Structure 1
C-alpha cells in the first residue's frame, strides 16, 4: 500500500492545480516536470510523509493520544522536511519540537484534506468502533471539524473495505454511507478543490469505476486540482484488494525517490504494517 500510495502522490504532485491542458497533454504515467514550481519528479509530498507518520505509530504500538500523534507528525517532518504542507500546518511544525508544542501552535479548525490524506493505514484496524475512534482522534489533531473528521473516516473505511474484501468496489460508497454521514455514494465529476471531502469523493468515484491501478491513476489526475491527494487516497486503498489489477508501469516504481525514506523504507514499513492485518480463523 505505502509504495503505491507514494507513487500516486509523487505522480500527482506534478499535476497539482496545473492547467487542464497540461494535464491532458502529459497524463501518461511517467514522472515528468509538468510545472516549473513542482517538486522533483519522482519525489513525494506531505501526503505520503504524514501517512508514514500514522503507519509508524501503528506498527510501534504507541499509545493513541493526540500528543503522541502530533509528536510523530513533528518527528517525521523535522527529520525529512517536505514541500506540500499548507502554510497553517507548516508554520506550526516549524515552531514545534514535540507533540505538546504542536497542539498549542496549530489551529485545528480546518476541513481541508490533511487528516484524510494520511488516514489510509488506519484501515487495517479490523474492529470498526476502534477504527472510528482512532481515526477521529488523529483527525482532531489538525482538522477538528465535522467535515475534516468525516473525510478522514471515509478514507480509512475505503482502505478497510479493500483490505478485508468486504464487497464489490461498486458498492464501496454505500458501505461508507452506512458508517459516515455524507454523499460518499454520489459520483464526483468536478474540479477538486482543497476541501477534504472533495478529494475523498473523487477517489471513491475512481475506485468504483476502474479495475486496475493504471487507469485509476490517470483518472485521478484527470479531475484537475488537488489531484495528488486524490491519487494518494485512491491508490492507497485500491492496492490492498485482489479485485484490482496491479499494473502500474515499472518506471513509476523504479524512479520513485530512493532517499532515506524512499522506496526501500516504504517497502519495509509496509511489511511491518501488513502484520497488523487480522487473519480470520479457518
Structure 2
C-alpha cells in the first residue's frame, strides 16, 4: 500500500471520529411560530384593555392611591404577616408532635389537622367572629383550681383577633405538613451522627436537622405566604377593612365596580411580585450548600508512584 493511500485512510478515519464533524443545531420552527402567535394574542389583549373605555383607567388612577385603599393595603400586609407567623410557629410545633413517639402528642396533632383542614376557612372565620355566642366570658385558669381572670369575649374577640385566629390557626394545619415533609427529607444518618457526638435532641433538631430541611420547606412556604396574601380577602365577610373590603366600600357608594376591582387587583399583583422576588432570594440562600457541592471539581486520582517490587 502506497504512502498516498495510507494518508487518505488516515484522513477518512479522522473525519469519522466522534466530535470531528461540525454540530448543526436543530431548527425549532414550531417554537418560533408559537411565540409569534402568543405575542400577537398578548399584544391584541393589551391594546383592547388600553383602548376600551369601559375599563375607565382614569377612575383607576384616581383611586389607586386613595387613603382608604392604602389603609386597607396596610391592614392586608399586617394581617398576612401576622397570620403566617402564627401558622409557621404552630405548624412547626404540630410537625414535631406528629413525629413524636408519644401517642398522646401524636393523637392531639392529628385531631387538630383533622378539624382545621376538614372545615372551610370561611366557616372558621365566621365561627371565631361569633365566638361570644358560645362563650360570652372567657375565663383564664385551670379546670380545678383558682381562676386567673375573666374577660368579655365581645371586647377581646375583635375583628382583627378573629381574623388572625381564623387565618393563623388554619394555616398552622397546612404548615405542619410542609414542615414534617421537610424534616423527613433529611437522612436519618444525620441524626444518628449528631447523637453519636453527644448532642442533645434539641440541638440535633435546631442545629442539624432543621437547617437542612429548610431547603425543602422554603418553596412551599413561599407559596403559602403568597396564598395567604390573597386569602385575607375572605375576612371581608366579618367587615374587616382590608384591601378588597376597602374597594367594596368605595364602589358600593359610587357604583364604579370594575375600576375599583382593578385597583385592588393591581395592588395584589404588586405585593405578589415582591413576595415572589423575596422567595427567590431566600431559596437561593438556603440552597447555597447544594450549589457549592455541584461546583466543586471532581477529584482526579493520581497515579501510584510507589515502585512495584519485581
**TM-score between both structures, scaled by the size of structure 1:** 0.24
The answer to which structure has the higher helix fraction is: 2
Q: Which structure is higher in RCO with an 8 Å CA cutoff and minimum separation 6?
A: 1
Which of the two has higher C-alpha Rg? 2
